[in-house]
Chains A and B, each alone.
Chain A
Amino acid sequence: MAGKRAAKQKDDGREPAADDAAVVVLPPDCRLAAQAALKAELLGVLEKGAIVVLDGSQVERADTAALQLLVLFRRELQACGGTLDWRGASETLNEAAGLLGLAQILELPAAGLA
């Protein structure tokens, strides 16, 4: 929901990356039960040549399923010529991605950085 709102903000021009980018905000509880909704949202922003900005700064809980979803999203986004950018990533998200060896694949920024 926060993500939808953020996605509509893409014209407000506040952030350079957001000029023509769709923004998806990852929910605080990003575990398995939340992923049907997240997947639907990601599918919505998946289009040719798009720049998708993920905001992971609010993530308080994450699991392997979440990271898998992001990995597969990035893979498909890249396959159709789009790019993934991060607006932020919480420590939790970073720690989980690091532990699973997926931080590089996801090109996650360190916590706090955008």
Chain B
Amino acid sequence: MAKILAVDDSVSMRGMVAFTLRGAGHEVAEAENGQLALDIARGSSFDLVLADVNMPVMDGIAMVRELRAMDAYKGVPILMLTTESHTEKKMEGKAAGATGWLVKPFDPEQLLATVKRVLG
């Protein structure tokens, strides 16, 4: 179905996201931080990027900013996976160019619903 890049430093969260999406028929690439995600994104194309906010090396916000600077990712949906219910983080993500967010904790069904929503 869609090609999705899942970025999270937590192996269990990333595993859950990737497993759920693959189960729904998507092709999923994984990255454990923003820097790695950028490297992967450069060499491929994705229909959707899901990214954690707090990550070592390069956090999700900086990653979104960099992705949006790349022509191929100008309009690609990027969802932040965030535990922050504070609006500041969401706004920071939005300002960087994120499409929207999915607030942790979420279960596989919520994830699939949101992905479906954003992929249209």
Contact = CB atoms under 8 A, between A and B. Distances in A.
- Contact present between A and B (CB < 8 A): yes
Q: Range of interface residues on chain A? A: under 10
Interface stretch (A5-13, A28-36, A49-57, A102-110): A28-36
Interface stretch (B14-22, B32-40, B71-79, B97-105): B71-79
Contacts of A80: none
Contacts of B75: 31-33, 63, 65
Describe A's contact surface by its main secondary structure. helix
Interface in A3-40: 31-33, 36
A29 to B, nearest CB: 10
Contacts of A33: 71-72, 74-75
Contacts of B74: 32-33
Nearest to B45: A33
A63 B47 CA distance: 13
A65 B76 CA distance: 12
A32 B77 CA distance: 12
A33 B46 CA distance: 12
A31 B46 CA distance: 13
Interface in B57-96: 71-72, 74-75
Contacts of A31: 75
B45 to A, nearest CB: 8
A108 to B, nearest CB: 19
Interface of B: 71-72, 74-75
Given A33-B71, A33-B74, 8 more contacts: A31-B75, A32-B74, A32-B75, A33-B72, A33-B75, A36-B71, A63-B75, A65-B75
Interface of A: 31-33, 36, 63, 65
